[in-house]
Structure 1
Amino acid sequence: MKKVALICCPNEKKSGFNFVKDIDKESQLFKLSIDYAKKIADEVFVLTKTYGLIKEIDYTSSYDEEIIFRNEIENRLWSLAILEQLNNFTDIHKDEFVILADKNYYRNYAKFLKNVDTPIGNISTEEKINYLRKELNEDEKEKTSYGEKLHILFNSMKKYNYTNFDEIPFTNGIYVVIDKKEKYKDMNRIVSIGTNNEDNKLIVRLKKHYKNGSKDSSFLRKNIGKSILSYNEHDYLYIWNINFNDKINQSKYGELRDMEVEESLDYKISKYMKERFEFICFEVEELKERSRLKEGLISTICHDKDFQCSSTWLGKYSPVEEIKNSNMWVVKGMDKNQLSEEEFRRVITLCVKSNEERKEYGTV
């Protein structure tokens, strides 16, 4: 006989978190449930609507989905499939089952299991979290960090890339660059944060990052290029560092440029960015607020002890120490004040507002 734990997967991350507490609950309850299940059970499974039972060791955030049953028949059919899987993976007559989910996710199959415990089935989310913390003796443990909350929030929002920047419904704001091949706690990792310093130029600013030949107008392009050259120990790095938007530099050093090398490098930079980067954006009208929130976001994320780059991240080869040390494509903001609680809530509010679907109404 063994003990088996069943956990309901978290809802699919969606746009429109109304309060920061929703992010707290979304992440904390699932994490605590997993930790508790591992502590008390021999096997742990995650309940999903589409795939049924997923072994905890095979589970990733890609399985997250909102489990909603349109009617009782749909619930019963799903429950029948769960029971069939349990019958394959366990001994439903002898094993002991602990179900960490709401009653709606077990009521139609639990009655067929011989030994069942549902310790959090009929209590509020807040009470669930408190119960699990108490059982794990985690009352005093550190709460979810702002860095993790920001990753949850930004990974939940509408994504933009070089193909659809014109769909951004505002012209002033902050953009967050997410790298699809870098991970932070199973989420795509934030690798840069920027804004438009000229009013109404947000979309123009983003497009410059993908324009070949614009390395001196795009911090991202220039520094990704530096890292590629440094990785290859290419002696063109010295020339690439020169700002040729400066007319004096253009006059003094223009003849040193090798456009064939730059064209090849531009191609590699664009390919790297297109394959890896997605952007989320939220509207911030005033430049002063944009600048403060940008530096606060950078500092908050960089000071998160769990925020690390992978061993293959290109920025590790940057000749710029700030980039290597920050694990981001940034050189400023890391030493600024981190977001206050008020500022963090302000970011949440701005993100929710910016991510709401904007409907166009015809004339009446």
Structure 2
Amino acid sequence: MIPEEESLTDKCRIIHENLESLPEYDHNTSPFELPTNGIYFFYEDGEFCTHENEREKRIVRVDTHRVDGNFRNRINSHYRGTKNSSVFRKHLGGALMRRKDPNDRRLKQWLKQDASTFQEIEMEVTKKLKEHFSFRCIPVEDKEERLRLEEELIATVAKCAKCKPTENWLGNFAADELVRKSGLWNHQHVTSENVLTEEAIERIRRLASKNSKEKRALFLIPCCSEKVPNGDHLPWMDVHSNQKFNDFPFLDAIRLQMINFYSNLKEEEGLKYYNRYDKNPEKKD
């Protein structure tokens, strides 16, 4: 448990340390590896924090989603969307423009929601995100809990004295003053007084521990009743060829149960993912 006198800086340190145990993702990550509901934390090359003199990657954005089941779409909208589908992209694009030319005439239109965009800026934002940003995430199923934790996380990191941006941080050129002052690519909640509570930190600790890299495992999904390797013949080929002789519905039921239990995949997503190997038995990667 966290002592009641735990300072805000200590709370922020605990969050950063717990997130370090989680897998780190980027634009190449398959959506099947991500939860369907959760909170995500972006990191940016060159940005670090120094809690207790330990250099760690600094959280530069905290975000979630309102619509249940929309986590993967939100991540995709950041890496591959437009400034109208992602406020994150809008912040980045504005900063890139202001760094080159503070008086860029396109800036006003760029910052206006639902106004037509500029393809060359979108391409620059996409390149920046793909080359210099990564993220970690924790699964949180309940919408109200997601939104509450998001606010408390943003407020805590924004107020942490050890999480200040570097002089070269792109966000120093952001059009949004709250981005520049907070050191986060966030606007909402950076001035909130609702910082993380002891209970919230314990909750995040449990979620991070349950999904840490050390606790991830590989589960083999059964696809036939027997596997009989034959010399140099690929075992996978035997599995595939034996399918026509073994029609056991209970194996499909087990496969669905394992997909549902050990991952966040929807049934149709799981079947599509694994069936691609059934159709291409020699393609294992």
Deviations 1:251-301 (A, max 9, x none): xxxxxx5x6xx2221122112112221110111001100000011111111
Distance 1:314 1:143, change over 3 A: closer
Does the C-alpha gap of structure 1 residues 218 and 340 become closer, same or farther in structure 2, counting only changes over 3 Å? same
Distance 2:184 2:16 in 1: 14
Residue pairs, 1:300-315, within 5 angstroms = 300-315=156-171
Q: Deviations over 1:28-49 (max 9, x none)?
A: xxxxxxxxxxxxxxxxxxxxxx
- Hey, what does 1:227 align to over in structure 2? 95
Cα-Cα RMSD: 2.4
Shift of 1:243: 1.8
CA shift in 2, pair 1:143/1:344, >3 Å: closer
Q: Name the residue aligned to 1:199.
A: 68
User: For 2:196, which of 332, 335, 339 is the aligned residue?
Assistant: 339
Call closer, same or farther: CA 1:166–1:310 in 2, change over 3 Å: same
Structure 1 moving runs of 4+ over 4 Å = 140-144
**Paired residue type of 1:357:** R
Q: Cα distance, 1:169 vs. partner?
A: 4.2
Q: How big is the shift at 1:152?
A: 1.7
2:144 is aligned to 288
1:358 deviates by 4.5
Alignment of 1:38-187 (within 5 A): 145-185=10-50, 186-187=55-56
| Gaps in structure 1 of 5+ consecutive residues | 1-19, 25-139, 245-249, 251-256
The DSSP-based 3-state class of the residue aligned with 1:337 is coil
CA shift for structure 1 position 155: 2.6
Alignment CA distance shift 1:171-1:323 (3 Å) = same
Task: Report the counterpart of residue 360 of structure 1 in structure 2.
Answer: 219
**Change over 3 Å in CA distance of 1:153–1:362 after alignment to 2:** same
Residue in structure 2 matching 1:211, options 64, 69, 80: 80
Taking structure 2 as the reference length, the TM-score comes to 0.69
Write out aligned runs for 1:246-265 (5 A).
Answer: 262-265=118-121
Question: Tell me, what secondary structure is at the counterpart of 1:156?
Answer: coil
Deviations 1:151-194 (A, max 9, x none): 22223310111100414342000001111311112111100011
Q: What amino acid does structure 1 have at the position aligned with 2:63?
A: G
How far apart, CA to CA, are the structure 1 residues paired with 2:130 and 2:35?
A: 23
Paired letter, 1:349: R
Which amino acid in the other structure matches residue 360 of structure 1? F
Q: Is the 8 A contact 2:49 2:163 kept in 1?
A: yes
Residues 144 and 242 (structure 1), Cα distance of their counterparts in 2 relative to 1, 3 Å cut: closer
1:337 counterpart letter in structure 2: N
Equivalent-residue separation in structure 2 for 1:293 and 1:170 (angstroms): 17
2:205 to 348, 355, 359: 348
* Aligned-partner Cα distance in 1 for 2:84–2:131: 22
Between 1 and 2, higher relative CO (CA 8 Å, sep ≥ 6) is seen in: 2
Q: Report deviation, 1:325.
A: 1.2
Distance 1:238 1:182 in 2: 28
CA distance in 1: counterparts of 2:88 and 2:8, whole angstroms: 33
Q: Alpha-carbon deviation of 1:149?
A: 1.6
Alignment match, 1:189? 58
Residues 180, 152 of structure 1: alpha-carbon distance in 2 compared, 3 angstrom cutoff? farther
For the 8 Å contact 2:158–2:182, the answer to whether it is kept is: yes
Determine helix, strand or coil for the equivalent of 2:47.
strand
Alignment CA distance shift 1:238-1:174 (3 Å): same
- Residue 358 and residue 310 in structure 1: after superposition, are their counterparts in 2 closer, same or farther (change >3 A)? same
Cα distance in 1 for residues equivalent to 2:34 and 2:105: 43
In structure 2, how many angstroms separate the alpha carbons of the residues matched to 1:352 and 1:167?
A: 20
- Given that residues 182 and 189 in structure 1 are in contact (C-alpha distance below 8 angstroms), is that contact kept between their aligned partners in structure 2? yes
Give the paired residue count. 213
Note the C-alpha offset of 1:150.
1.4
Structure 2: how far apart are the matches of 1:228 and 1:163?
23
What amino acid does structure 1 have at the position aligned with 2:194? N
Q: Please, which runs of 5 or more residues in structure 2 have no aligned partner? A: 223-250, 252-285
SS in 1 for 2:211: helix
AA aligned to 1:207 is N
Identity among equivalent positions (%) equals: 26
1:210 partner SS: helix
What is the identity, as a one-letter code, of the residue corresponding to 1:332?
Q
Checking the alignment, whether the CA contact within 8 Å between 1:323 and 1:330 is kept in structure 2 is: yes
CA distance in 2: counterparts of 1:283 and 1:156, whole angstroms: 14
* CA distance, structure 2, for counterparts of residue 143 and residue 311 of structure 1: 23
